[in-house]
DNA sequence: CTTAGTAATTGGAACGTTCCAATTCCGTCA
DNA sequence: TGACGGAATTGGAACGTTCCAATTACTAAG
């Protein structure tokens, strides 16, 4: 017993601190929580001991006791898309300054993986979840989650009947504004390029496209709606397809900025200069949109701001306990830059040649 | 008091399952862990009860008992940069399939925030950490972390003296290869554009640039090394600055792909076509590099692969307990696409005009 | 029919915190 | 001097799991 060597770095606990500071573990706990009940002098003593011994708080133990954590989960469908990366950054910012930490998971649009990560997050006791659902997610997929009473905020894509709050952008209005702008500039054949046709976001943007066209008496132009993967590569193929048409478009509203960049690429590959020879409008307003050449005209959705907003909404619900679900659709505005700058007549020539 | 309503859904625990299945809690625990000790029939009974009652595993409790978690943390300095987003995706992929879940935090290059998130992750008991350190991080910032014995893998940026494993790319060799390629194509004045001069990554890439130049007897060309923010916008300003020089470059190696895209933008703004009139080489090989127009010649670092590699390294260390730190520098290769395709003579004309 | 050996199951302690009710301390007032 | 009251502190139970040693059930061998 005389040579009992304590070499293994035992975890230092609140009890060790208590012993070192000459108080009880309860007092230490109080200090840890910043309670006003504890005397200034003891608080100092305790804090000193904490620094001294290199104590690190054990949240697992705390969570267990009070059955609530300081974790929020965020699951996105495609982190590779900078729209979602920025969204995550926005969430992270507000969530961190509220003292929470974020679990981030990427589903790559796979429902199965989404199921797994949501389950895993529940096991970790997240106090709330921000979800940008994978393609094809149904209300029933979310049912067990919402029944458990965990606050959930859906972003970007709403799911009807899920019974949770959602934060989407006004896709219809954005598309209408963009197409109207193109019409004002004299365009008559305006394509809608990119995106998966089975998503709600796609549908409402296409609806906006069609409504603006009809409003101007230009007919629905369904043949100019060309889906593709919502990526840069998808944009290239979409514009190629569009240019094979007998009656080519002179302008395009794109499903998102990634597609729009792809469309610009595809245009250049055909020796057409975006902006000068063909008008391109994107959707989202990712950071690169501003600095690209030509600067991208786009419907600004402000992904980072959206992330912040979603996080605030979630935190509000967490604080309030169970809150009535609300569906917020945040307004959107057309940011006119250079990529839609072409005078329509010039393109007319190009097209008729 | 007579109306005491028990509406709050009590958490269902392993004990409830045990009761429902007519076994002991220990057996349920065994089932949960997939132990081979338990009889097939009981296992089925237990699993049925689990589904029946909608049980969700409480990892906080488990962590508390076995003092190890299935969480790994990843902290990146700029999630907005798609290089890091892809890195995170790579990490996520392998970490998830190993049954772990990832905490992701974004430091936005702020040391203070980095300190906070690392502390927070420790409190949550992460079993390992992958860190792409914020600019200016020093070994002493990491000291308490590494002393605690938590496996750490540094990615992208190494920190000398930190005493942990690191995974960086061979920046020097990559830069040498890129510049040699440009020299072979006949270029004589080759700029290095973008990046913060105080980072190790910048320094080794610039060193590669200079060494290749010296090797070919072209002198150090220090005046052609122009720093900037490592972003698209930074690339625009860097190329602008470069083109103000009396003796303009005819080609540039860029700090990263984002800068390279910005350089292309800046070139176009001056009515110069990247690839045709000026050779541009990037660094990193982000996904957009392939589909951009012109497709970007770049030093391929494969961020996603790097993330996967880092995750594997970390998992290995976690499994092995305390392992000897190893410094891996992964090799890198020049992917020649179109943006460096200009014949040098053509550009010579341009420059002398 | 016993015994040994393996397979399956089990109760209780432990993990590190928080919460509650109880206690101590100390100055003030009658 | 004693009673009072607020401020500060405290011991023990509880949270939901895992681990350990111990027990029971079953099978095959003697």
pLDDT at A9: 58
Task: Identify all chain B residues contacting A116, using CB atoms and an 8 Å cutoff.
Answer: 96
Q: Residues A127-154: what's their mean pLDDT? A: 94
Q: Mind listing the pLDDT tens digit for each residue in A70-93?
A: 999 999 999 988 899 999 999 999
Which positions on chain D have an atom < 7 Å from some protein CB? 7-12, 14-21
Among the CATH numbers 3.40.50.2300, 3.40.50.10070, 3.10.270.10, 2.40.50.100, which is that of B69-169+303-331? 3.40.50.2300
Give the integer Cα–Cα distance in Å for A237 and A229: 9
Cα distances (angstroms) measured from residue B214 to each of A209, B183, B188, B228: 58, 11, 11, 24
Q: Mind listing the pLDDT tens digit for each residue in B182-232?
A: 999 999 999 999 999 999 999 999 999 999 999 999 989 999 999 999 999
Q: Mind listing the pLDDT tens digit for each residue in A245-264?
A: 999 999 999 999 999 999 99
Cβ distance B265 to A291 less than 8 Å, yes or no, reads: yes
Give the integer Cα–Cα distance in Å for B75 and B175: 27
pLDDT at A10: 74
For residue B14, say whether its CB is under 7 Å from any atom of strand D. Answer: yes
Cβ distance B9 to A149 less than 8 Å, yes or no, reads: yes
Tokens (6 digits) for A46: 């305790």
Q: Residue A17, CA: closest nucleotide via C1'?
A: C16
From the CA of A40 to the C1' of C29: give the distance in Å: 27
Maximum C-alpha span of chain B: 95
Torsion angle of C-alpha atoms A116, A117, A120, A125, degrees rounded to 10 = -140
Q: Mind listing the pLDDT tens digit for each residue in A171-195?
A: 999 999 999 999 999 999 999 999 9
Contact A300, A333 (CB under 8 A): yes
Task: Identify all chain B residues contacting A63, using CB atoms and an 8 Å cutoff.
Answer: 60
pLDDT band at B81 (very low <50, low <70, confident <90, very high): confident
More confident position, B330 or B292: B330
Selected residue of B66, B101, B269 to mutate for chain A interface (largest A Cβ count, 10 A): B101
- Which residues have a Cβ under 8 Å from the Cβ of A81 and sit 6 or more positions away? A230, A231, A256, A258
What's phi and psi for A58, nearest 5 deg?
-105, 100
Average pLDDT taken over every residue of chain B: 91
Task: Identify all chain B residues contacting A266, using CB atoms and an 8 Å cutoff.
Answer: 293
Q: Give, as one character, the DSSP assignment of residue A5.
A: -
Q: Give, as one character, the DSSP assignment of residue A256.
A: S
In this structure, how many other beta carbons lie within 10 angstroms of the beta carbon of residue A327?
12
β-bridge pairing A152-155 and A225-226: unpaired
Q: Does domain A172-301+335-352 have CATH number 3.40.50.2300?
A: yes
Q: Mind listing the pLDDT tens digit for each residue in B25-71?
A: 999 999 999 999 999 999 999 999 999 999 999 999 999 999 889 99
Hey, where are the domains in chain A? Answer: 14-57, 68-169+303-331, 172-301+335-352
* Alpha carbon of A200: minimum distance to chain B alpha carbons (Å): 25
Say whether A172-301+335-352 and A14-57 share the same fold: no
Q: Mind listing the pLDDT tens digit for each residue in A301-336?
A: 999 999 999 999 999 999 987 778 999 999 999 999
pLDDT band at A287 (very low <50, low <70, confident <90, very high): confident
Cβ distance B264 to A293 less than 8 Å, yes or no, reads: yes
Is a pLDDT exceeding 50 seen at residue A351? no
CATH H-level, domain B14-57: superfamily: lambda repressor-like DNA-binding domains (1.10.260.40)
* Alpha carbon of B290: minimum distance to chain A alpha carbons (Å): 9
Cβ distance B101 to A101 less than 8 Å, yes or no, reads: no
CATH H-level, domain B171-302+335-352: superfamily: Response regulator (3.40.50.2300)
- Chain B residue with the nearest C-alpha to that of A104: B104
Give the integer Cα–Cα distance in Å for B202 and B172: 10
Of B71, B106, B232, the CB nearest to A291: B232
Give the integer Cα–Cα distance in Å for B92 and B76: 13
Q: For residue A195, list its beta bridge partners.
A: A228
Q: Does domain A68-169+303-331 have CATH number 3.40.30.10?
A: no
For residue B33, say whether its CB is under 7 Å from any atom of strand D. Answer: yes
Q: For residue B254, list its beta bridge partners.
A: B193
- Which residues have a Cβ under 8 Å from the Cβ of A88 and sit 6 or more positions away? A74, A76, A79, A102, A104, A307, B79, B104, B106
pLDDT at A323: 73
């Amino acid at each position: 017993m005389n040579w009992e060597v304590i070499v293994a770095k035992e975890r230092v606990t609140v009890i060790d601190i208590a012993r070192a500071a000459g108080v009880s573990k309860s007092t230490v706990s109080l200090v840890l929580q910043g309670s006003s009940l504890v005397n200034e002098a003891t608080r100092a003593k305790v804090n000193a001991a904490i620094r001294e011994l290199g104590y690190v708080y054990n949240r697992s133990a705390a969570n267990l006791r009070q059955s609530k954590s300081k974790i929020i989960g965020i699951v996105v469908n495609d982190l590779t898309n900078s729209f979602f990366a920025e969204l995550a950054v926005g969430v992270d910012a507000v969530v961190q300054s509220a003292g929470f930490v974020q679990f981030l998971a990427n589903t790559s649009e796979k429902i199965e993986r989404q199921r797994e990560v949501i389950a895993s997050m529940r096991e970790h006791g997240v106090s709330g979840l921000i979800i940008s659902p994978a393609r094809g997610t149904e209300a029933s997929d979310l049912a067990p989650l919402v029944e458990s009473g965990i606050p959930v905020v859906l972003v970007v894509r709403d799911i009807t009947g899920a019974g949770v709050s959602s934060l989407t952008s006004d896709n219809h209005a954005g598309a209408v504004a963009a197409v109207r702008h193109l019409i004002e500039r004299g365009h008559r054949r305006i394509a809608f390029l990119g995106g998966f046709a089975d998503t709600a976001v796609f549908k409402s943007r296409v609806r906006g496209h069609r409504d603006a066209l009809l409003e101007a008496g230009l007919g629905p132009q369904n043949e100019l709606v060309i889906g593709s993967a919502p990526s840069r590569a998808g944009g290239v193929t979409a514009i190629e397809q569009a240019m094979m048409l007998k009656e080519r478009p002179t302008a395009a509203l794109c499903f998102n900025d990634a597609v729009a960049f792809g469309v610009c690429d595809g245009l250049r590959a055909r020796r057409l200069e975006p902006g000068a020879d063909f008008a391109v409008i994107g959707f989202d307003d990712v950071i690169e949109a501003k600095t690209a050449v030509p600067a991208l005209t786009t419907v600004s959705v402000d992904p980072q701001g959206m992330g912040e907003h979603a996080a605030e909404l979630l935190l509000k619900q967490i604080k309030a306990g169970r809150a009535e679900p609300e569906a917020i659709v945040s307004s959107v505005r057309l940011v006119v830059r250079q990529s839609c700058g072409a005078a329509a007549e010039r393109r007319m020539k190009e097209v008729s040649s």
